[in-house]
Amino acid sequence: MYIGNTNYSFQPPNICPHCHVTNKPSEKYNERTVDTDGTPSNISIWQCANHKCNKLFVALYQMKGGKAVWIRFLNGLPKGPDWPKPIADLKSDNSDGAENSKFIKTYLQSLEAESYGLDELAGMGYRKSIEYLVKDWAIQNNPEKKADIEKLWLGQVIKKYYSGDLKDILERATWLGNDQAHYNRLFEEFDIDVLKELIALIMVELDRQHKMKHYIETIQSKK
Ligand SMILES: [Zn+2]
């Protein structure tokens, strides 16, 4: 496929974003283009080969390391943040084999609501996503305390299982988030963008802590 003026080799998508069944979709169309940030890209249209589905979908490819690489399916919705790996890997209980944690699922639904101008729903959604992130992360690090964490209020989980700056930021995010869910708003001066920025900050800090823990555990003194 062409990206810019070069014809690159590429791997066709092997899963359908509608039915999530692995198959060999057939290519209907592809065209070089540029992404919203100016990155040279190629957009292709495919048809799912699963007979129960047969739906069309759109894939975005960009050049990486001399090849055209699949970036994501385009569904007309805003792109979510780039999830740090430990956040992307986080699993939720009862998520029915879903690929994403409840945090990511709820965050993306809130983003979708926000893109439709549904700011009240989006605010409550972001608040809910923080709760999933805080509890699932605490459970991942303290699996033996699962039952305890599940039955505590969000504020209690933050106090008991988080510390330092992260705890302070989590508390502030939940204050703003709670406000989004209540009739009389106390924090009028902070809007959804601030709440999202706090969530971004929380993800960076969880990623940092996860990496430090990993390297401290895996690199041992040779003396
Ligand atoms: Zn399909």
For 123-159, write each residue's pLDDT tens digit.
889 999 999 999 999 999 999 999 999 999 999 999 9
pLDDT band per the 50, 70, 90 thresholds, residue 36: confident
Dihedral sign (CA 82, 84, 87, 89)? positive
| Collapsed DSSP state (helix, strand, coil) of residue 23 | coil
pLDDT at 97: 56
Q: How far is the CA of 132 from the centre of ligand 1 (A)?
A: 29
Q: How far is the CA of 45 from the centre of ligand 1 (A)?
A: 13
Q: What is the CATH number of domain 85-218?
A: 1.20.120
Give the integer Cα–Cα distance in Å for 118 and 26.
37
Reported as a single tens digit per residue, the pLDDT across 192-218 is: 888 899 999 999 999 999 999 999 999
Is 60 exceeded by the pLDDT of residue 96?
Answer: no
pLDDT band per the 50, 70, 90 thresholds, residue 116: confident
Query: Which residue in 17, 3, 32 sits closest to 73, CA to CA?
Result: 17
pLDDT at 10: 93
Q: How far is the CA of 108 from the centre of ligand 1 (A)?
A: 21
Q: How far is the CA of 52 from the centre of ligand 1 (A)?
A: 7
Residues forming a β-bridge with 2: 7
Q: How far is the CA of 101 from the centre of ligand 1 (A)?
A: 22
Contacts of residues 140-148 at CB distance under 8 Å and 24 or more positions apart, as own/partner, are 140/90, 140/91, 146/93
Q: Bigger pLDDT: 99 or 69?
A: 69
pLDDT at 191: 81
Reported as a single tens digit per residue, the pLDDT across 156-181 is: 999 999 999 999 999 999 888 777 77
Domain definitions of the chain by residue range: 2-73, 85-218
In this prediction the pTM is 0.69
Residues forming a β-bridge with 33: 41
pLDDT at 94: 60
